[in-house]
Chains A and B, each alone.
Chain A
Amino acid sequence: MILHTVNKSPFERTALESCLDHAQPGSAVLMLEDGVYGAVAGSRVADKVAQAAKDCKLYVLGPDLAARGISQDKLVAGVGVVDYGGFVDLAAENSSVQAWL
């Protein structure tokens, strides 16, 4: 399955929305750079993200969260946190990688 990556804020671009509309059950989605804002609970995209977390494996890149001052306890339930090493593992574990720029 694909590892999808989303690096822009869902309030700036439609990349996250489009990604989640295309990610098949069992695929993985990693939010990095400004994309980490998509994982914050209580936002207007949080429901869509929570819904996606039921079928897909969602992750945020921890260092990008920390850089932006977002604490890990503010995330939508079901979103995992990985570091760059974890990012590498995700890329290796999935069969291909698709960037939503």
Chain B
Amino acid sequence: MKFGILVNEGPYQHQASDSAYLFTKAALEKGHEIFRVFFYHDGVNNASRLAVPPQDDRNVTQRWSELAKEHNLDLVVCVAAALRRGLLDENEAKRNGKNADNIAEGFRISGLGQLIEAGIQSDRLMVFGD
């Protein structure tokens, strides 16, 4: 089975990203395929390279980056939602005259079409939000 995952909330504020991560991990362990993980609304904040969470708890962003690396996952951050909330990669920073970029490893910025494509190509689309 091919799963698409939609994460609508940012790290820590809501459990959505945790639930999505643990579901994704379980699906992979069962031999399923993850077509794409798409981050929308405040979910784009999961992609911040600058987060420094306390050491005695899970590192949500790093966890996603590591899972993506291990399983070659496609982690996509919606460009419109990202710009709105100040999540920029190098290109968007240059394009918008900002002096920094902050996307973490393993995430890429792209359009909402990637979410629709995930809906079309996946067998199941899982939504995690508030």
Q: Judge A-B direct contact (beta carbons within 8 Å).
A: yes
Number of interface residues of B (CB under 8 A): 22
B128 touches A99 (CB 8 A): yes
**Which one of A17-25, A45-53, A86-94 is at the interface?**
A86-94
Contacts of A84 in B (CB 8 A): 22-23, 25-26
A88 touches B130 (CB 8 A): no
**Which one of B27-35, B77-85, B88-96, B108-116 is at the interface?**
B27-35
B29 touches A85 (CB 8 A): yes
**In the complex, A63→B26 CA distance in Å?**
13
Give B128 Cβ to nearest chain A Cβ, in Å.
Answer: 7
Give A99 Cβ to nearest chain B Cβ, in Å.
Answer: 4
On A, residues with C-beta under 8 Å from B are: 5, 7-8, 32-34, 63, 83-85, 87-89, 91-92, 96-97, 99, 101
